[in-house]
């Protein structure tokens, strides 16, 4: 082996080592909470490599996956529910490190979960709203998913996959058993996980950032913990109750401990928002709609007033404004504008009301 080949092999091994080295919590990454909104929290991969996916390309990827998801998903289109969930989410986005605007929709499924695609396409399941006891619990989970997008976890994984491939050829010739196993594991990542950005490290980072965003928005960050503890207790009493949530998120014990650590490090505030009467009304409205779906001939069909309805979105009944259209460069043309708290907007609605 000549000297150039040796150096290339050494460089490839270093790339793999950097990508597979876990980051510890002791140094408390992202501790500069006073700069939320002006931080570049995902500027480098493993502290060295740039993210290969531009924000414009990330939005395009998200738009494509959102289009595929909505072809089969059943969305809730009741305006009271969708406006409320969108407003809660957009308020958190405004107090986060987001660099892309968000499109937030509610999915008509009883699964207790939520997920965010690259580029700000965010879906909240009906089951999550019904399971939450108050607005701070709902906001905590939503802040966690928003954090996945702000930290660009999906495109971070895509970049890591490309870097692993760049280092693959030399390792095929000089790498030992463990090196090749590490390489194969890195290259064998499922696309679904890559799109959602789900790894233990990314979940821990989203927990930390989500806690910060809920705190910065004015919500009680304890809502995040109480929601976890409730799921944990119910899952122990009846295993499999929250299969969907457990499948897409790691175990709760360690997460609760780390969120508690982050809360202890945050600056104290005189008061936090726990819930609002609007949350109770929206949750009650969802329950009412569910009940009416199980009763034949309810609503307008029985002579009553026009009732909120659930409608399955398909390619044929979606308006052109609903579809994520793309420019020649792949950037959607009908995206909302991301606004910060300082942006002037005389028509903007105020934050949620006082604590109950």
Q: Rounded to an integer, what distance in angstroms lies between the CA atom of residue 164 and that of residue 167?
A: 5
With residues binned 3-state (H G I as helix, E B as strand, rest as coil), the percentages for the chain, rounded to 5, are: 55, 5, 40
Say how far apart CA 334 and CA 318 lie, in whole Å. 14
What's the rounded Cα separation, in Å, for the pair 282 and 86? 12
- Residue 282: HSE in the Cβ half-sphere, 13 Å Cα cutoff: 30
Q: Secondary structure of 101-140 in the HEC alphabet?
A: CCEEEEECCCCCCEEEECCCEEEEEHHHHHHCCCHHHHHH
d(CA 92, CA 113): 18
Which of 86, 137, 207, 220 is the catalytic position? 207
Does 145 participate in catalysis according to the annotation? Answer: yes
Q: Please measure the distance between the N-terminal and C-terminal CA atoms of the chain and give it in whole angstroms.
A: 72
Catalytic residue from among 97, 131, 145, 220: 145
**Residues annotated catalytic, as ranges:** 145, 207
């Amino acid at each position: 082996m000549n000297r150039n080949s040796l150096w290339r092999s050494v460089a490839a091994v270093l790339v793999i080592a950097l990508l597979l080295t876990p980051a510890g919590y002791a140094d408390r990454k992202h501790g500069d909470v006073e700069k939320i909104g002006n931080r570049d929290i995902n500027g480098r991969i493993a502290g060295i490599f740039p993210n290969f996916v531009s924000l414009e390309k990330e939005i395009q990827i998200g738009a494509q996956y959102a289009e595929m998801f909505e072809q089969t998903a059943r969305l809730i289109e009741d305006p009271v529910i969708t406006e409320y969930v969108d407003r809660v989410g957009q308020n958190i986005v405004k107090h986060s490190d987001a660099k892309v605007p968000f499109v937030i929709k509610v999915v008509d499924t009883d699964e207790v979960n939520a997920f965010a695609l690259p580029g700000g396409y965010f879906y909240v399941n009906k089951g999550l709203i019904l399971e939450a006891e108050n607005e701070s619990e709902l906001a905590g989970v939503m802040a966690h998913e928003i954090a996945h997008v702000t930290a660009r976890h999906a495109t971070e994984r895509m970049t890591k996959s490309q870097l692993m491939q760049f280092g693959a050829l030399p390792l095929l010739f000089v790498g030992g058993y463990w090196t090749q196993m590490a390489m194969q594991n890195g290259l064998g990542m499922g696309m679904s996980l890559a799109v959602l950005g789900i790894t233990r490290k990314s979940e821990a980072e989203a927990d930390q950032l989500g806690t910060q965003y809920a705190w910065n928005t004015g919500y009680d960050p304890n809502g995040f913990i109480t929601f976890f503890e409730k799921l944990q207790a119910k899952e122990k009493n009846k295993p499999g109750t929250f299969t969907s949530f457990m499948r897409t998120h790691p175990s709760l014990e360690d997460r609760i401990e780390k969120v508690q650590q982050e809360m202890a490090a945050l600056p104290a505030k005189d008061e936090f928002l726990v819930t609002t009467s609007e949350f109770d009304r929206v949750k009650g409205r969802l329950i009412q709609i569910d009940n009416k779906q199980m009763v034949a001939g309810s609503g307008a069909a029985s002579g009553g007033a026009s009732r909120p309805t659930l409608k399955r979105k398909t390619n044929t009944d979606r308006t052109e404004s609903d579809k994520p259209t793309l420019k020649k460069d792949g950037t959607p043309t009908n995206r909302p504008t991301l606004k910060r708290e300082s942006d002037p907007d005389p028509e903007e609605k105020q934050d949620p009301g006082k604590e109950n």
